[in-house]
Structure 1
Amino acid sequence: MQVILIQDVDNLGGANELVTVKNGYARNYLIPQKFAVEASPSNLKQLNEKLKVKKKKEDKMLAEINQVIAKLQEGAIKLGAKTGTSGKIFGSITALQISRAIREQKGYEIDRRKISIPDDVKELGQYKASVDFGNGITTELDFEVVAE
């Protein structure tokens, strides 16, 4: 029997997926527990519509992400930091400071948890950080630490 899964089921499949299972498993467990619906022509039509809408949303989101990536790669972000006489920063640059600088200089709100800095930034100069947008999409971000 073919069923359309409504939600993820372990060892079977994910939501909005068409799977073939034994009749008893579908009638006695999946359908009564609201994990699946029978794969009738009308339900298959609804599934196709859901998948089309989901695809459109993903395409729109991908276009927005590419626009943000292009804006972030236009130029380096400048971060001001207090320094001592030797050029070392008091403390270090954090992802929160980079997130605030992106919001102020580029106009985009990026969560600090999505920004990762590979090494400690404790001196003035040019550095790189990576921004993870999810779904395997990451980009390099250049930033420069200057004296305040």
Structure 2
Amino acid sequence: MKVVLLENVKNVGNKGDIVEVKDGYGRNFLIKNKKGVIGNKENIEMTQKNKAEEEKKIAAERQAAIDLAKEIDQTEITITERAGEDGKLFGSVTSKDITERLEKEKGIKVDKRKVELEMPIRNIGRVEVKIKTYQGVTGNLTVIIKGEV
């Protein structure tokens, strides 16, 4: 019996797959629990159409993320914090500070969890910060830390 899976089923297949299963398993488990539908011509065509739409959507999201990463690469922000005479900040600059300043100055909204900082910035200077925009796509933001006495 052919079944089109509506969700991931362990040891059978993933959502959207067309699988061949035994009749009893298909009728009594997959279809009854709404984990799949009978693999007739209409359901198979609908599944293939949905897969194509999903791929287009993913491609559009990826392209938007690549464009955002290019914009971030060309962006430079300045953050001014209190610092001592030796160039060390009294506090630190965190990913939250960076995302707030980026949104305020440039209008680019990024989730603070996407900013890849190993440790908060504690010194004056120029720092390259990686910002992940999509899986495998990152942009390098230039952050200039200035100190005020």
TM-score, normalised with respect to structure 1: 0.90
Residue 22 of structure 1 aligns with which residue? 22
- Identity among equivalent positions (%) equals 26
How far does residue 130 in structure 1 lie from its aligned partner after superposition?
2.0
Q: Which amino acid aligns with 2:74?
A: E
**How far has the Cα of 1:118 moved from its partner?**
2.4
Are the equivalent residues in 1 in contact too, given 2:4–2:16 (CA < 8 A)?
Answer: yes
Higher relative contact order (CA 8 A, sep 6+): 2
Distance 1:13 1:136 in 2: 26
Q: Which residue of 2 aligns with 1:115?
A: 115
Backbone CA RMSD of aligned residues: 1.6
Aligned mates of 1:9, 1:2 — CA distance in 2:
15
8 Å CA contact 1:117–1:128 kept in 2: the answer is no
Instruction: Between 52-61 and 135-144, report the one with greater CA deviation.
Output: 135-144
Letter in 2 for 1:48: Q
- Which residue number in structure 1 is paired with residue 8 of structure 2? 8
Greater share of residues in strand = 2
The equivalences for 1:53-68 within 5 A come to 53-68=53-68
Q: How many angstroms does 1:21 deviate by?
A: 1.8
Instruction: Name whichever of 15-24 and 67-76 sits farther off.
Output: 15-24
Distance 1:142 1:13, change over 3 A: farther
TM-superposition CA deviations, 1:83-128 (whole Å, max 9, x none): 1222211111101011112212321110101112123411101222
Indicate if the aligned counterparts of 2:66 and 2:133 stay in contact, CA closer than 8 A: no
Letter in 2 for 1:129: V
Partner of 1:131: 131
Counterpart check, 1:51 vs 2:43: no
Aligned partners of 2:2 and 2:20 also within 8 Å: yes
- Residue 35 of structure 1 is matched in structure 2 by 35
Give the match's secondary structure for 2:88.
Answer: coil
Moved more, 64-73 or 16-25: 16-25
- For this pair of structures, how many residues does the alignment match? 148
Question: 1:56 Cα deviation (Å)?
Answer: 1.7
